[in-house]
Chains A and B, each alone.
Chain A
């Protein structure tokens, strides 16, 4: 039965596939065709910790309004995996559609009354057309894309163009793919009611935006930020960041004449060695980074304390996943805040950056190296699986050609020769940041011994109590300097004056903006503040001070951002209301608005009381 209302450019399509069946590129083709029709989409991979055989899903949220957060629910399920059939059918919203391969009869009890079922005999069509098993498999995916194009009213020319782009250089493959596309499309037009009530209509809502994964954008940021040394150890969901760096370096960093590399990438034996190499390279004057996830950060703790105390620049990209322990390696969370903020034993505090999308991954990816050199300390860029491993629509990446690397305070051979006083841990400028020298600068001056043990302002070993305290207090001054130069939080005031606010960060951004719109429609008004870094700037203090109640929205169980706010700003905990989501799925507007609404009486209701 088909009682659903017409939904144009606003619905969710989910593909249920088997890992390793070649579905990914067909699904991406489908998503991209909608984008090319000017309609924003937010695709998400939902995949198990597995290479072949286990279920995998690809969810595409279509939203002309540009809401890119996860939506929850499914309007059209493309059920290609018998293993997950029951679960997939169950997940469809009432009034939604089920698209399936009808080659083999399926018992009526396996369907639902309240959804529309669309069967296409995909396997039969493939078996008739192709004899090679791999072709049968791969073209089946293109055939369903063809059928869906008819059902959803996607322009076939757009898909043809995309196929031509995809197989540029392997032109022989273009025609057979277009043939398969039309096999599906023609079948649907002839045998099914097309289009459905779910429909794509050409729009102009994408603009000049691009689609890129946050990991790739971060890697590009590292290239633009001047990183030359990368040491890493494979770990989901961060591996594609280091691999992206390799890819972009091969493109941009090979000397055109000598063919030599202006970069060095080492796959280390573990995360401890990775951060050790990063620290060694940074100590020696190269910009260096590692990419990892929570378990890697756990292993790096001792070295991170050394880098903090010995004041060595290092950049760490942490693509967060579900923890603790091995947790859920292929699911998303924002649960490494406390781990990174206070990494290592003793009194340590680190600088964290929270990009909201790939565009900011690029920006922060580059800026992190300037901050690391300027502050001579580790800088963490905290992204997560949701923005790291999914292609996210975002602003085009921008670079100002007049921008120069900020290498921070480095004393030169000339300055040393001229007799300038050099104390490695001497606070000359009052900002807590001392000067450093690169090894090998001057034959007789400027050499110093780097150590994790205590030392005086001239880097001489000492266990003297006053010297130790002096150094630790200077590190606090440096931390205060950091507070003023890290990216500032961004406020978005409500249309109506309100005493209620919400603080959020990172990948929650897309869902948060949508939630605010939703709540606004329901009469709940919130000022919001997107925190972009730690330590917190004055704008965060002011925002909290100017509101009676502040919701802190985050994707972890223990309200880690809230903990940092309470701890660092001495905020009354009662004022900060945690809104938490931590099941490994990305947070949605529905979840945020539901949770906040439950704790707030809409303003107009309050007045009526």
Chain B
């Protein structure tokens, strides 16, 4: 969009969070995506979430693959280390990074081309290993940077900008994540910040593999009549099962809700997810029920959004590997190298 550098000046009225950082401290450089791109709304939601959570920016690592969505980490959290890796392979890089330092918060940003096609395998395996991460797919059903080819999440029968009809079945990333054992699964819409920001907060607090599929319309190539990922279409067919507030012990939220419409879920780190249920019978703890519900509503043409499944007592890869609490990167010679005496003993056993 623009190559202008973002001015460093802060408006004096910008309110700092508890750590003394303003929203500006969580921003990145100016987006080069198209004006109106859904991805920019998601970047803004990430900034908002991290600002509200009072997270020190340098304790987050943001990783991505290749594509429009994978460019976005440049546009948020400028004080965080970022890694724009290769196409479809963000999950493995993130997994390795997480193994090296379990103390950082890992945010993986990917797209539907990156995660549902070339990177489907890595997506699946990172989820099934239970890597502690927030994995966001900015899902627009189309390849943007290469100008408008269908992606694997494009619905069968949907129409491309040039008029081609997609004949292939679509891949539902949420259904996959549920089947593969993700312990936090959500879907949202880039145009619904009220729903999205708390989901990102809750996911970042989650101690396990958290997956959020965010429908994020592509204004340049997939926002026309006949597309099921267009702004209008998603707005018309969005069926939110819940909205929520994330309540940290320090910042209680005291809004009154109608009886029966609220459910509190306390995550492992102590944060409470206060769900405002729109679908009264929907149970966020029922993995199988979630899968069935999604399929049924999809058949009815609806896009189910909200927190779809959560296991608040999730355990991550480090638990199954029994890794030391100290990040592996912080060990040095004395803790890692067995020394010459041990080697002499070993030599003796090899004669």
Task: Collect the chain A residues with CB atoms within 8 Å of residue B327's CB.
Answer: 286
Is A284 positioned at the interface, with any CB of B under 8 Å from its CB? yes
Q: Per-position contact with A for B24-57: 1 when CB-CB < 8 Å, else 0? A: 0100000000000000000000000000000011
Is A396 positioned at the interface, with any CB of B under 8 Å from its CB? yes
Stretch at the interface among A46-54, A261-269, A575-583: A261-269
A269 to B100, CA, bound (A): 19
Task: Check if B100 sits within 8 Å of A208, measured CB to CB.
Answer: no
Task: Check if B95 sits within 8 Å of A444, measured CB to CB.
Answer: no
Is B15 positioned at the interface, with any CB of A under 8 Å from its CB? no
Task: Check if B121 sits within 8 Å of A231, measured CB to CB.
Answer: no
A-B contact number at CB 8 A = 228
**A272-B92, A306-B85, A438-B329 are known contacts. Are A281 and B74 too (CB-CB below 8 A)?**
no
Is B324 positioned at the interface, with any CB of A under 8 Å from its CB? yes
Say how far A429's CB is from chain B's closest CB, in angstroms.
23
Interface of B is mostly: helix
A438 to B251, CA, bound (A): 32
Say how far A276's CB is from chain B's closest CB, in angstroms.
3
Q: Per-position contact with A for B317-351: 1 when CB-CB < 8 Å, else 0? A: 11001111101111111011111101110110011
Q: Which residue of B lies closest to A255 (CB)?
A: B324
Is B298 positioned at the interface, with any CB of A under 8 Å from its CB? no
Q: Which residue of B lies closest to A402 (CB)?
A: B340
Most buried by A among B79, B91, B94, B328: B328
Task: Check if B99 sits within 8 Å of A229, measured CB to CB.
Answer: yes
Is A82 positioned at the interface, with any CB of B under 8 Å from its CB? no
Q: Per-position contact with B for A432-476: 1 when CB-CB < 8 Å, else 0? A: 000001111111100111111100000001000000000000000
A210 to B335, CA, bound (A): 26
Task: Collect the chain B residues with CB atoms within 8 Å of residue A276's CB.
Answer: 85-86, 89, 91-93, 95-96, 122
Say how far A390's CB is from chain B's closest CB, in angstroms.
14
Task: Collect the chain B residues with CB atoms within 8 Å of residue A303's CB.
Answer: 86, 89
Most buried by B among A208, A405, A439, A461: A439
Task: Check if B328 sits within 8 Å of A262, measured CB to CB.
Answer: yes
Task: Check if A228 sits within 8 Å of B56, measured CB to CB.
Answer: no
Most buried by B among A226, A266, A437: A266
Q: Per-position contact with A for B5-25: 1 when CB-CB < 8 Å, else 0? A: 000000000000000000001
**A220-B346, A397-B343, A398-B340 are known contacts. Are A450 and B81 too (CB-CB below 8 A)?**
yes
Task: Check if A261 sits within 8 Å of B322, measured CB to CB.
Answer: yes
Say how far A225's CB is from chain B's closest CB, in angstroms.
8
Say how far B24's CB is from chain A's closest CB, in angstroms.
12
Task: Collect the chain A residues with CB atoms within 8 Å of residue B335's CB.
Answer: 262
Q: Which of A229, A252, A282, A400 contacts B340 (CB 8 A)?
A: A400
**A306-B86, A449-B74 are known contacts. Are A283 and B343 too (CB-CB below 8 A)?**
no
**A276-B122, A398-B340 are known contacts. Are A264 and B84 too (CB-CB below 8 A)?**
no
Task: Check if B323 sits within 8 Å of A449, measured CB to CB.
Answer: no
Q: Which residue of B lies closest to A253 (CB)?
A: B336
**A276-B122, A398-B343, A440-B101 are known contacts. Are A281 and B86 too (CB-CB below 8 A)?**
no
Q: Which residue of A lies closest to B61 (CB)?
A: A439
Task: Collect the chain A residues with CB atoms within 8 Å of residue B79's CB.
Answer: 443-444, 447
Q: For residues 82 through 131 of chain B, which have their beta carbon under 8 Å from a beta carbon of chain A?
A: 82-86, 89, 91-101, 103-104, 121-122, 124-125, 129
Task: Check if A439 sits within 8 Å of B97, measured CB to CB.
Answer: yes
Q: On chain A, which size bracket covers the interface?
A: 35 or more
Is B297 positioned at the interface, with any CB of A under 8 Å from its CB? no
Task: Check if B351 sits within 8 Å of A261, measured CB to CB.
Answer: no
**A261-B324, A306-B85 are known contacts. Are A277 and B96 too (CB-CB below 8 A)?**
yes
Q: Which residue of A lies closest to B102 (CB)?
A: A264
A447 to B99, CA, bound (A): 20
Is B156 positioned at the interface, with any CB of A under 8 Å from its CB? no
Q: Per-position contact with B for A543-575: 1 when CB-CB < 8 Å, else 0? A: 000000000000000000000000000000000
Most buried by A among B86, B129, B351: B351
Task: Collect the chain B residues with CB atoms within 8 Å of residue A231's CB.
Answer: 92, 95-96
Task: Collect the chain A residues with CB atoms within 8 Å of residue B125's CB.
Answer: 268-269, 273
Task: Check if A261 sits within 8 Å of B350, measured CB to CB.
Answer: no
A244 to B78, CA, bound (A): 41
A276 to B325, CA, bound (A): 23
Task: Collect the chain B residues with CB atoms within 8 Å of residue A226's CB.
Answer: 331-333, 336-337
Q: Which residue of B lies closest to A275 (CB)?
A: B92
Most buried by A among B78, B122, B318: B122
Task: Collect the chain A residues with CB atoms within 8 Å of residue B91's CB.
Answer: 273, 276
Say how far B28's CB is from chain A's closest CB, in angstroms.
9
Q: Which of A211, A266, A284, A449 contacts B350 (CB 8 A)?
A: A211
Task: Collect the chain A residues with CB atoms within 8 Å of residue B84's CB.
Answer: 449-453
Is B237 positioned at the interface, with any CB of A under 8 Å from its CB? no
Task: Collect the chain A residues with CB atoms within 8 Å of residue B238's CB.
Answer: none
Task: Collect the chain A residues with CB atoms within 8 Å of residue B350's CB.
Answer: 210-212
Task: Collect the chain A residues with CB atoms within 8 Å of residue B59's CB.
Answer: 440
A453 to B66, CA, bound (A): 10
Say how far B175's CB is from chain A's closest CB, in angstroms.
20
Task: Check if B324 sits within 8 Å of A284, measured CB to CB.
Answer: no
Task: Collect the chain B residues with CB atoms within 8 Å of residue A258's CB.
Answer: 324-325
Is A280 positioned at the interface, with any CB of B under 8 Å from its CB? yes
Q: Per-position contact with B for A402-423: 1 when CB-CB < 8 Å, else 0? A: 0011000000000000000000
Say how far A435's CB is from chain B's closest CB, in angstroms.
14
Task: Collect the chain A residues with CB atoms within 8 Å of residue B92's CB.
Answer: 231, 268, 272-277, 280
Is B267 positioned at the interface, with any CB of A under 8 Å from its CB? no
A252 to B336, CA, bound (A): 8
Task: Check if A259 sits within 8 Å of B338, measured CB to CB.
Answer: no
Say how far A446's CB is from chain B's closest CB, in angstroms.
8
A285 to B332, CA, bound (A): 11
Is A238 positioned at the interface, with any CB of B under 8 Å from its CB? no
Task: Collect the chain B residues with CB atoms within 8 Å of residue A405's CB.
Answer: 332-333, 336-337
A225 to B57, CA, bound (A): 32
**A253-B336, A269-B125, A306-B86 are known contacts. Are A277 and B95 too (CB-CB below 8 A)?**
yes
**A266-B129, A453-B84 are known contacts. Are A280 and B94 too (CB-CB below 8 A)?**
yes
Is A288 positioned at the interface, with any CB of B under 8 Å from its CB? yes
A66 to B101, CA, bound (A): 47
Is A302 positioned at the interface, with any CB of B under 8 Å from its CB? yes
Is B166 positioned at the interface, with any CB of A under 8 Å from its CB? no
Task: Check if B323 sits within 8 Å of A260, measured CB to CB.
Answer: yes
Q: For residues 13 through 51 of chain A, which have their beta carbon under 8 Å from a beta carbon of chain B?
A: 35
A226 to B332, CA, bound (A): 7
Is B217 positioned at the interface, with any CB of A under 8 Å from its CB? no
Say how far A58's CB is from chain B's closest CB, in angstroms.
19
Is A385 positioned at the interface, with any CB of B under 8 Å from its CB? no
Task: Collect the chain A residues with CB atoms within 8 Å of residue B338's CB.
Answer: 223-224, 252
Task: Collect the chain B residues with CB atoms within 8 Å of residue A283's CB.
Answer: 83, 93, 96-97, 100
Task: Check if A284 sits within 8 Å of B101, measured CB to CB.
Answer: yes
Task: Check if B122 sits within 8 Å of A286, measured CB to CB.
Answer: no
Task: Collect the chain B residues with CB atoms within 8 Å of residue A280's CB.
Answer: 63, 83, 85, 92-100
Is B235 positioned at the interface, with any CB of A under 8 Å from its CB? no
Q: Which of A223, A282, A450 contacts B96 (CB 8 A)?
A: A282
Chain B positions near chain A (C-beta within 8 angstroms): 25, 56-59, 61, 63, 73-74, 78-86, 89, 91-101, 103-104, 121-122, 124-125, 129, 317-318, 321-325, 327-333, 335-340, 342-344, 346-347, 350-351
Chain A positions near chain B (C-beta within 8 angstroms): 35, 208-212, 220, 223-226, 228-229, 231, 252-253, 255, 258-266, 268-270, 272-286, 288, 302-303, 306, 396-401, 404-405, 437-444, 447-453, 461
Which 5 pairs, one residue from A and one from B, show the smallest C-beta to C-beta distance? A280-B96, A276-B92, A286-B100, A277-B96, A439-B81
Q: Can you give 27 contacting A-B residue pairs, CB < 8 Å?
A: A35-B351, A226-B331, A228-B100, A231-B92, A261-B324, A266-B99, A268-B125, A270-B121, A276-B86, A277-B93, A277-B95, A280-B83, A280-B93, A280-B94, A281-B328, A282-B96, A284-B329, A285-B100, A285-B101, A285-B329, A288-B96, A399-B343, A405-B333, A437-B81, A440-B81, A450-B83, A453-B84
Supplied contacts A211-B350, A280-B85, A280-B95, 5 more A-B pairs, CB within 8 Å: A228-B331, A262-B331, A266-B95, A279-B85, A444-B57
